[in-house]
Amino acid sequence: MAPVKVTKICCIGAGYVGGPTCAVIALKCPHITVNIVDLNQSRIDAWNSPDFALPIYEPGLVDVVRQARGRNLFFSTDVDKAILEADLIFVSVNTPTKKTGVGAGFAADLNYVELATRRIANVARSNKIVVEKSTVPCRTAESMRTILEANSKPNCRFDILSNPEFLAEGTAISDLFAPDRVLIGSLQTAEGVSACQSLSDVYANWVPKERILNVGLWSSELSKLAANAMLAQRISSVNALSAICEATGANIDEVSHAIGYDSRIGPKFLKASVGFGGSCFQKDILNLVYLSESLHLPEVAAYWRQVVEMNEYQKRRFSKRVVDTLFNTITGKRIAVLGFAFKADTGDTRESAAITLIKDFQSEKALVNVYDPQVTEDQIWLDLQEASPLVPLENIKKHVTISHSALEACKDAEAVVIATEWKEFKEIDWEAVYAGMNKPAFVFDGRLLVDADKLRKIGFKVTVIGRS
């Protein structure tokens, strides 16, 4: 069966995955029309903004959109038109962890995936290749296929593919330009293999063919969860070692550097921190926990659950160290939290360590100044409200102030907590910071970012994660 030549692509979902991925496809494939659609009008307006004030921050993304938008890249809320015209449809909607019902706290909420799938089935009038791009539990494609086949029009066939993303926020564009691999899963039928080839041909416009991996549908779905679980496991492992370092006098930087030289281990994802965050790691591990329990594998579920528990322990341990160092009380003391995004070079705050730290400081009745160069004020208030749902927002605002610069956040503070590794925090005028703080002035480096010895010479009392 000959593969379909893809000339029009529809991406349902204009978020962190669908937007950058399909923008790069449009840039690299000028002969393919790419329509990115979303029901959120304000998000689409931002993608179409004349000054390129895009709804997400990602280094290099503006340049990509600037080159392709209006040529073969379009953003719209007209979902049905895009579905009708497309040869291939990416489903790239949000799959958050369920908050209620069966599997609450662990299982992925597939409501948006189902809604998108039903809309495709109801609207499509011709054969379509439907591609899972969202992070989904293993065998979600089977559910999608059941929905599509039950609601399809006569003589309208759907082929389902899994094409998980492996992007790191902050480097997503370079990851897309030169991916380690592109994984495409399909049913091992003639139709499935043909659909797989159609998508492979799209990526082959710029990705070397040896880096395009074609696997079974279920292997592709599980590979995404497995990759994030393994990476998160490394972070939790080195964070567990950081606690031992603090207790023994060892230096976690030196330990990580030493073990990273082992070719069997390698140096990546061995940097200790206050904890991992983001949209994927915790969600995907919890998904893996739920899958393991559903398959009656309690020991496997317990193993992966511990990775998340270690991450939460690291956050609690760090906030407790702040309190202990500040003479066992932070009531009424002003603490500057530098960084609110879960990592540098992104505006994403999902599962950010800063949220947990600020909540802990609030519970101790501290006054918190928070500054982040990319996260909006609305997003900060939304996250803090969600973290403390029983506390009225007005009460949160009595204890938390959003600052517009690092220097402003640090003024009159007792302590500075570095929660995100933004480069600008490394380059702050620390002498000016020290001059404006109450004494003794403390710095707590949760990201191994600053030169501790240099700060001590200025006069700071410096505490670094993973060091005694």
Evaluate if residue 136 carries a pLDDT over 80. Answer: no
Q: Is residue 216 part of a domain?
A: no
Residues 298 and 195 in one domain: no
- Predicted pLDDT of residue 109: 81
Q: Which helix (H) or strand (E) holds 88?
A: strand 88-91
Say if residue 202 is in the same domain as residue 242: no
Cα separation, 374 vs 362, in Å, equals 23
Q: Is residue 215 part of a domain?
A: no
Under a CB-based contact definition with an 8 Å cutoff, are residues 1 and 41 in contact?
A: no
pLDDT of residue 135 exceeding 80, the answer is: no
Q: Where are the beta strands (DSSP E) in 257-351?
A: 334-338
Range of the domain at 19: 8-207
Tell me: do 180 and 246 sit in the same domain: no
Percent of the chain having pLDDT more than 70? 100
State residue 416's pLDDT score.
Answer: 98
The closest alpha carbon to 6, from 172, 180, 205, 182, belongs to 205
Q: Which of 275-279, 358-362, 366-370, 380-384 has the lowest mean pLDDT?
A: 275-279
18 is in an annotated binding site: yes
Is there a contact between 339 and 375 (Cβ–Cβ < 8 Å)? no
Complete DSSP assignment for 131-187: EE-S---TTHHHHHHHHHHHHPPTT--EEEEE----PPTTSHHHHHHS-S-EEEEE-
168 marked among binding-site residues: yes
Q: How many C-beta neighbours within 10 Å does residue 263 have?
A: 6
Q: Residues 193, 91: one domain?
A: yes
In this predicted model, what pLDDT tens digit does every residue of 174-185 receive, in sequence order?
999 999 999 999
In a domain, 214, yes or no: no
For 299-336, what is each residue's pLDDT tens digit?
999 999 999 999 999 999 999 999 999 999 999 999 99
Predicted pLDDT of residue 468: 87
**Residues shown for the chain:** 468
232 is in an annotated binding site: no
Please report, for residues 16, 129, 195, 316, 431, the alpha-carbon distance to residue 85 in angstroms, rounded to integers and kept in the order given. 24, 12, 17, 51, 60
Are residue 255 and residue 203 in the same domain, yes or no? no
| Chosen domain end from 162, 184, 207 | 207
Judge if 321 and 465 occupy the same domain: yes
CATH assignment of the domain containing 192 = 3.40.50.720
pLDDT of residue 134: 79
Q: What is the pLDDT of residues 184-218, one digit of tens each?
A: 999 999 999 999 999 999 999 999 999 999 999 99
Could you tell me if residue 3 is inside a domain? Answer: no
Domain count, the chain: 2
Ligand-binding site membership of 368 (annotated): no
Q: Are 183 and 237 in a shared domain?
A: no
Confidence (pLDDT) at 96: 80
What would the pLDDT profile of 437-468 be if each residue is shown by its tens digit?
Answer: 999 999 999 999 999 999 999 999 999 999 98
Residue 224 annotated as lining a ligand binding site: yes
Where among 179, 207, 235 does a domain terminate? 207
- Residue 155 has a pLDDT of 84
Catalytically annotated residues:
280
The DSSP 8-state label assigned to residue 214 in this structure reads E
Same domain for 193 and 240?
no
CB 253 within 8 A of CB 448: yes
3-state SS class at 213: strand
Are 96 and 237 found together in one domain?
Answer: no
Question: Angle at which helices 217-248 and 252-260 pack, to 10 degrees?
Answer: 140
User: Longest Cα pair distance anywhere in the chain, in angstroms?
Assistant: 77
Same domain flag for 279 and 175: no
Position 110 confidence tier, pLDDT thresholds 50, 70, 90: confident
Q: Indicate if 303 and 342 belong to the same structural domain.
A: yes
Pick from 70-74, 76-80, 144-148: least confident: 144-148
Sheet of strand 415-418, all strands in order from the earlier edge strand to the far edge = 400-402, 367-371, 334-338, 415-418, 442-445, 461-464
